[in-house]
Structure 1
Amino acid sequence: MFERREEKSGDAIDRPAIYRTLVFAFCVWSAHFLVSYGAVLIFPGQPIASFLAVGAGIAALAALVWKGQKLTRPRPSVALGALGLAVAAVAFGTFPAFIG
């Protein structure tokens, strides 16, 4: 009934796969932040907060890598930049759980 067409050529603004990747990357980043910050607020000073932050970080990194692998070749640089920024943010957001 409805067919989804994606243009392989043209400017980046004309390809919806790039926008889906941008939205996905920043949604994963924000979900990781909310879970990590919420865990610290609910369980202050307890080790379970660190475990939840690390678990959320691993899940978020896995989702971002999966999305990066799923992109069609040639991979759009805008989409890879968004995924790279989200990976860095998740990694640096998880780092304080290791420190303390």
Structure 2
Amino acid sequence: MSTSFRNETDWTGVALAMAVWAAHFMIVWAAASIFPGEPAARWIAGAFTLISFAALGALWRWRRVAGLHTVPGLGIALAAAGVAYDALPALIG
């Protein structure tokens, strides 16, 4: 029996994806609270949604994710779905 243990799962990619999702949620929520019903909130939500998707795409390339069947791939996909879901109320109105 070997005494060395090596875990190949990339949890850093998952943590960074969840941080992008959380930051997006906080910014969109703050914009909607500060500018309720105003177009400024929609512009902020749209801009930060695009920035968040770009950050998740860059994270996918930076961590060299093999596909959705990996833990980082699922984490980034879940964060992307969360970003899209967060943006819906602000963009629809």
- TM-score tier, shorter chain, comes to 0.7 to 0.9
The count of residues paired between Structure 1 and Structure 2 equals 88
The one-letter amino acid of 1:95's match is L
For residue 55 of structure 1, what is the aligned residue in structure 2? 47
- Cα deviation for residue 73 of structure 1 reads 6.0
Unaligned 5+ residue runs, structure 2?
A: none
State the distance in 2 between where 1:72 and 1:22 align.
13
Tell me, yes or no, if structure 1 residue 39 matches structure 2 residue 31: yes
The one-letter amino acid of 1:82's match is G
Unaligned 5+ residue runs, structure 1?
A: 1-9
* TM-score, with structure 1 as normaliser: 0.79
- Runs ≥4 residues deviating over 2 A: 71-76
- Cα deviation for residue 45 of structure 1 reads 1.2
* Structure 2 SS opposite 1:45: coil
Query: Percent identity of the aligned residues?
Result: 31
- The one of 75, 86, 94 equivalent to 2:79 is 86
What CA RMSD, in Å, does the superposition of the two structures yield over aligned residues? 1.9
- Cα deviation for residue 99 of structure 1 reads 1.1
* Structure 2 SS opposite 1:97: helix
- Cα deviation for residue 97 of structure 1 reads 2.1
State the distance in 1 between where 2:14 and 2:25 align.
17
For residue 6 of structure 1, what is the aligned residue in structure 2? none
State the distance in 1 between where 2:28 and 2:87 align.
8
* TM-score, with structure 2 as normaliser: 0.84
- The one of 20, 25, 36 equivalent to 1:28 is 20
For residue 92 of structure 2, what is the aligned residue in structure 1? 99
